[in-house]
Structure 1
């Protein structure tokens, strides 16, 4: 049940009937304060200004046509406040009916969207290097987005666009050749990290080494068997290591989702020739360049985007053009979402401009960059070790596990060893993921261990504890969660229970916003508020010791829907739950 959408549609119809232009939106929002009802319509003032009429009189005309409190029985009361705000108080019997519908449905009454094919590009680590903390945001946010869109009925294609091609491999092959390293079978990812640092150092200081590396890049792109053999081994080592990290983080990526840069190599010569034939690409100083009037250099001239270098090597832009073309033509994408940091925004815009001009992707296909900020330390600097080295992702997860284990021991929960380890694992991974997902992705945030592992406030431990606390109610009762049925009565319940019921029914509209904008922090905020509202309900109004069977049954059903919503919402965030804590 999407209450916001339901009210918006009815208000919009009434607005059209009274002569308000359709470019004026209803602007329906959940009310911030209960004295203003459950929902508030804010769009009347802007419409009245445009029409040059009294906003109060216009609001009155709209209210007279709504029938929410008469014909539809959705509202118990509708009132006009101030200059023309419309306050809507939802009817308790209608709320109770919707709660029962949600409880009876495997999807909690949430309607599936009209299915689209959506490609989500996320995680995208480089080959021959261990994943580090810089991969955290793309991996976790992208995975949550994929889960949510899939739940809503879309055909989601996860695309792990790994960096398995290009200059890095030329450097590594040149280094292995220089060091006469012939035993590739003994190479580990840790070795590769060291090899890469040495190769990069040589590349930066030694012109001859750099030239050899570039030649190896061209050989690799042309299918040289020696280069391909080493390349495959380096890729396999990295993929295995990364998959273990994904499994540990409860990320829904697998080997089948890998669509590396190498995948598009055979397309690159044809794309360059096609762009030249269409007059979009030209030869300039030996390279092939696309000049874009939409982007200017410092001197005000069109910016040139190189798609083929003098030595015949292709660039990332060329690969990304082929990638988008493939996603539209072969994968039949209706929407392509990139979870890449904000520094790549101009690169993506240039690439999208080229594919649109070339006619590879029509304008009705959505290309979206869901960019994100950086993870910072307590001094608002990029989050690194004290030595200035970027933190490896598995090292971060190891530390989280140690801290979670120590936290649980300090609370004297009397857990056996197996249970302690299980709880520590769930809390450690959940805390890191929730700390990431609960922040607005467009902003930088400060990484804080104490805050993310706190059992108070907007954290994973707080919500996980709230979930286990509700579970304990059913463990202590004779009621079977699977067989709990009967009427639900809200009309004689206190205001706080009404507020909890409304919040439970706002789950669908929350998910819809997150799916549209890629903003999982909104879902986190919803789950946190749900936990807080239920905690107040639990502490102030008896459930198992309610006044009578009817009240007990009603309150247990609210508890059950809260339990299911918390579990479902955390699952959409990729966070496991615990039955006991």
Structure 2
């Protein structure tokens, strides 16, 4: 008898049992088990779908099976005796339906409370070094709605890997180096000269960088309209890159001012990052390009140093014909550093889908240089995402045509939630405590913005609508936060220490809705396995919303408080709350216990 675990992925354990059966029944087939959830719950909980493909592979060999069902029967005959599967059946030409043992499910649900959810994290990632490059705003420019997707998708992926025990490096590849700094530094110098000429102080002033957006706009306007200023700005870039002390001091003030603005937004979103801007890699660029040329990976084409990647119509330009370096040079240096200095096992870049070809070129160049191996060694992935659209279906902008500032978007979401909370409390005759309203409005408002983004597959464009994302019904963070608060209220009304109860009382699953809820609870690891496999946070939001729906169905049909099964059902209720909180945590959403 194979005794299965009371935690971890049920799907993986079912697959292990069928792997053993396949190896016993067809030892030379070299085939992996294909196990998935049953499309129709009436047929079973899971399904093994190997028989037809295996039948085709064996056709024409000695003693080949006569039909796919013969293959399925042979697999079933070799299935080890175990305490996880209660029954199996055949459907169609050879699909194997699997029904789980309800006692095994009950033990797993109980384990969520007695052992905690740490044991339910997907396996195989603990101790791995994962570098995730996300957010990446540009210095002297405000963060806008376009940065939202990279920031929250990247943060969620970090949280999932951290839950799995990975050593995660959260990198903010800030645009803090390049031609725009020449025009900014020169404009600041001209402002200072004008101040001195008017009898003012000859010193750097914080006001020079107080409004970075205005600083950038004014400098860009002059750069576009004044030829003399454009020439000076380009000369300023050269001085900066050469280490001129005055230029570096101005650059550092601009970066520090931007950093303060970025950090204020990251704090509101609950996101932590380690800044490592483009400037960090500047000293490495020449050595990287020289190495690529020396090994023949890079060649000169029309004066530029290029890496031609098989299957790509354009090359990766690692050094321009004038000797300058661009962002392709920086990205190659960053990748080399992450592989050789950080010793990363997996490097993940979270940017818009428009950069897909660029990263294909970077990864292709790295493979050509021998930095990456196809079969083994570190993995690299580009996590592309689509556009945020307005309700008109066009790119989300203000009426003036500017991209929507992220700070304004968060303020609006919070303000709307605060108004709704006050209104509901007033209608219920409850006291309105502003500190409580502020806390709840932040959790709901910021959570709603995050969830509305994350619930879409990252590669799709989605329409940004405050009305939709703040809806109290349907697949929204607001609905789910209210659902969690109601569930927490049930446990409070029960008046029992559910964790002491879990240590002495087994979960029992007799009603079909109890079984359905328990099965979904135990599928948390599978949702996270799929999220990692696809690098897709919507796998978590899908799971969370389905969990709330299954709980509602259970609660309608199964009385909890005052029932004969109260103790066991309270454990099911608390397990649901615990799993919801874990999902909220992974999505970067703060749960609410009372609203």
**Normalised TM-score (structure 2):** 0.91
After TM superposition, the structure 1 = structure 2 runs for residues 116-515 of structure 1, keeping only pairs within 5 Å, are: 116-180=128-192, 184-187=204-207, 191-253=211-273, 257-285=274-302, 287-294=303-310, 297=313, 303-363=314-374, 364-411=377-424, 412-413=427-428, 414=430, 415-485=432-502, 486-491=504-509, 493-515=510-532
Q: 1:151 & 1:59 partners in 2: Cα distance?
A: 37
Structure 2 counterpart of 1:41: 48
Pairing partner for 2:93 from 76, 83, 97: 83
Say which is worse superposed, 107-116 or 47-56, in terms of deviation. Answer: 107-116
In the TM superposition, what is the alpha-carbon distance from 1:365 to its structure 2 partner? Answer: 1.3
Q: Does 1:524 align with 2:531?
A: no
Match of 1:54 among 50, 67, 71: 67
Query: Offset of 1:417 from its aligned partner?
Result: 2.2
Distance 1:189 1:481, change over 3 A: farther
Secondary structure, aligned partner of 2:287 = helix
- 1:116–1:334 CA contact under 8 A, matched in 2: yes
Work out the CA distance in 2 between the residues paired with 1:482 and 1:99. Answer: 12
- For these two proteins, the number of residue pairs brought into alignment is 565
With over 3 angstroms needed to count, the CA separation of the structure-2 counterparts of 1:352 and 1:564, relative to structure 1, is: same
Q: Does the Cα contact within 8 Å between 1:121 and 1:337 map onto a contact in 2?
A: yes
Judging changes above 3 Å, is the alpha-carbon distance between structure 1 residues 368 and 306 closer, same or farther for their aligned structure 2 residues?
same
* CA displacement 1:377-419 (0-9 Å, x = unmatched): 1121111112211111000001101111222233335342222
Select 1:567's aligned residue among 577, 581, 589. Answer: 581
Instruction: State the distance in 1 between where 2:290 and 2:485 align.
Output: 61
Aligned-residue Cα RMSD (Å) equals 2.0
Question: Partner residue of 1:32?
Answer: 39
Greater displacement, 3-12 / 304-313: 304-313
- In the superposition, relative to structure 1, how do residues 102 and 482 fare at CA in structure 2: closer, same or farther (>3 Å)? closer
SS in 2 for 1:118: strand
**Conservation of the 8 A alpha-carbon contact between 2:498 and 2:570:** no
Per mean C-alpha deviation after superposition, the further-off stretch among 77-86 and 107-116 is: 107-116
* 1: CA distance, partners of 2:52 / 2:247: 68
Question: Which one is further off, 311-320 or 122-131?
Answer: 311-320
Which residues of structure 2 form unaligned runs of 5+? 1-7, 60-65, 194-201
Which stretches in structure 1 are left out of the alignment for 5+ residues?
A: 298-302
Question: SS of the counterpart of 1:337?
Answer: strand
- 1:217/1:44 CA distance change after superposition, 3 Å: farther
Which stretch of the first structure deviates more once superposed, 560-569 or 177-186?
177-186
Alignment TM-score, normalising by the size of structure 1:
0.93
CA distance in 2 between counterparts of 1:556 and 1:570 reads 21
**Aligned residues of 2:185 and 2:250 also touching (Cα < 8 A):** yes
Deviates most, 105-114 or 273-282: 105-114
Does the CA-based 8 Å contact 1:12-1:26 persist in structure 2? Answer: yes
Q: Partners of 1:440 and 1:425 in 2: how far apart?
A: 25
Contact 1:130 1:189 in 2 (8 A): no
Q: Quick one: distance in 1 between partners of 2:112 and 2:173?
A: 38
Counterpart secondary structure, 1:294: coil
CA shift, 1:293, in A, is 4.5
